[in-house]
Amino acid sequence: MYWNPGAEKTPIKDLREIQERKLKALVHNVYYYSPFYRKKFREAGINPWDIEGLKDLKKLPFTKKPDLRDNYPFGMFAMPLSQIVRFHASSGTTGKPTVVGYTDNDIKVWVESMCRSLTACSVERDDTIQISYGYGLFTGGLGFHYAGEKLGATVLPTSAGNTQRQIELMRDLKSTVFACTPSYMLYLSEYAASIGISIENDTDLRMGIFGAEPWSEETRKRIEDKAGIDAYDVYGTSELSGPLFTECTEKNGIHIWADQFIAEIVDEEGEPVGEGEKGELVVTTIAKEAMPLIRWKTGDITVLEEEKCACGRTHPRIMRIMGRADDMLIVRGVNVFPSQIEHVLMQVPEAGDHYMIILDRAQDGLDVMTIQVEVNEEAFSDKVSDILELSKKISNNLKSVLNVSARVEVVNPGTLQRFEGKAKRVIDNRKL
């Protein structure tokens, strides 16, 4: 099933020609109309005529989060404000906020990307899409919203939170597709069960599209088993346009629309890695007008696959996000991603869906990692010996995968905090 078969099945050779043509146009455009990039190019000792094709992409400087903050609010724009039809902005909780502007065509490109993506994971015009991502300055809900309406589906913009009301509306209005964070879907399923409702048997829900936080293949399986739905991964960043790309029904990577974006994978030194190797995702926007981004360092760790997908789409795919470069924990000199811990926990049948990672520093200066994990209802026991045995089992599994020791505290079901949005999984007391 395709939204735009001509574009989605473009021969790979033709896609590269499109990328080269648009890349050359992009570098000329930003050199003349973006003071930020003109200065950036001059500092790097390059000019637009140096970029003759994709082979020259690595000559271009990276764009990073501090660039957006340092040029707040309009310094990154390449179009006059008279052409801007919308602003989105980050919360600014970790510093000065970032602002992204959109022209009318930017909105259309965003909607086109999401129409392709929703169709790829089998959303149809007969579906009712319940969108439980945030609305407003945050881009999360709006990409789904406009694309759903463009597809001809029915959109239910519930936004985040108010779980009981979400379930009521899901049942009453017969939602068939649910979009939210994976941690919230687990919580919603748990809450529904606590009030005697089965998502699988008492609703019409058939699929969910989950993102905005890293999640593992094991979490996908738990969601599908608990709710009786198909679970798909979605990817995007607020700087690029919010949600943009999803898996197709093959569930073998997230398609990146190569006629709109150029994707690279680089190592910690910023050098391109080989095909199939892990690294940081870098994206160049070749269809955005208001705020184009050249070699935007997303901070997300993944693998890029360029071969044609079994679904027939020729556009490259990124594999499941393994974590964020800035979320990586260094514990006794070992690099650990929270998603690695989740991967281990979700493979333990007795472990529940909720966990917390706590980092402290002992008096001897060594890092101490404590992982609190709920036991699931079926495996709950009052026996101290059972709890100790489960703690030891999880600790051994973690040590074998992470190569670092962790204290494991098994806690009762319902003990750990739930989140109606992005889950907070790490408390790092070493920074206090």
Interval 231-242: pLDDT, tens: 999 999 999 998
Domain of residue 404, CATH code: 3.30.300.30
**Which domain range does residue 58 map to?**
1-324
Last residue of a domain, one of 254, 289, 324: 324
CA–CA gap between residue 52 and residue 48 (Å, rounded): 8
At a CB cut-off of 8 Å and minimum separation 6, what does 429 contact? 358, 359, 360, 361
Looking at residue 110, what is its pLDDT? 97
Inform me whether the pLDDT recorded for 43 exceeds 90.
Answer: yes
Q: Is the pLDDT of residue 93 over 70?
A: no
Angle of helix 182-194 versus helix 163-172 axis, rounded to 10: 80
**What pLDDT is attached to residue 371?**
97
What pLDDT is attached to residue 192? 97
Q: Which of 298, 324, 350 is the last residue of a domain?
A: 324
Among the candidates 273, 298, 324, a domain finishes at 324
339 and 249 share one domain: no
Residues 97 and 234 in one domain: yes
Paired sense of beta strands 279-285 and 329-331, if any:
unpaired
Whether 292 and 413 map to the same domain: the answer is no
pLDDT of 92 over the 70 cut:
no
Same domain (yes/no): 259, 384: no
Q: Give the global pTM.
A: 0.91
Q: What digits encode the pLDDT tens for the residues 45-64?
A: 999 999 999 999 999 999 99
**264 shares a domain with 151:** yes
Q: Are residues 421 and 342 in the same domain?
A: yes
Q: Are residues 310 and 350 in the same domain?
A: no
The secondary element (H helix, E strand) that includes residue 235 is strand 230-237
* Residue 173 shares a structural domain with residue 61: yes
pLDDT band of residue 341 (cuts 50, 70, 90) is very high
Q: Is the pLDDT of residue 384 over 80?
A: no
| One domain for residues 214 and 349 | no
- Does position 94 have pLDDT exceeding 60, yes or no? no
**Residue in the block written with tokens 């184009």:** 292
Predicted local confidence at residue 81, as pLDDT: 97
Same domain, yes or no: 247 and 347: no
Predicted local distance difference test score (pLDDT) of residue 91: 66
- If you average pLDDT over residues 242-268, what whole number do you get? 97
Cα separation, 282 vs 298, whole angstroms: 6
Q: Domain total for the chain?
A: 2
Percent of the chain's residues with pLDDT above 90: 83
At residue 134, the pLDDT reads 87
Contact indicator for 231, 210 with CB cutoff of 8 Å: yes
pLDDT at position 140 is 84
Confidence grade of residue 95 (pLDDT, cut at 50, 70, 90): low
For the stretch 9-14, contacts whose Cβ atoms lie closer than 8 Å and that sit 24 or more positions apart, written own/partner, are 9/312, 9/313, 9/314, 10/259, 10/314, 10/315, 11/314, 12/306, 12/308, 12/314
Report the pLDDT value the prediction gives residue 366, as an integer from 0 to 100: 87
pLDDT grade for 326, boundaries at 50, 70 and 90: confident
Question: pLDDT tens-digit profile of 113-126?
Answer: 999 999 999 999 99
Q: Which two tokens stand for residue 218?
A: 């094991």
pLDDT bucket at 404, cuts 50 / 70 / 90: confident
311 and 397 assigned to the same domain: no
CATH (domain of 152): 3.40.50.12780
Confidence of residue 363 (pLDDT cuts 50, 70, 90): confident
What digits encode the pLDDT tens for the residues 97-153?
A: 889 999 999 999 999 999 999 999 999 999 999 999 988 888 889 999 999 999 999
| Average pLDDT value over all residues in the chain | 94
Task: Examine the domain organization and report whether 374 and 274 are in the same domain.
Answer: no
Q: Averaged over 176-191, what is the pLDDT?
A: 96
**Residue 202: its pLDDT value, please?**
98
What confidence category does residue 417 fall into, taking pLDDT thresholds of 50, 70 and 90?
very high
Nearest in space to 300 (alpha carbons), one of 235, 234, 359: 235
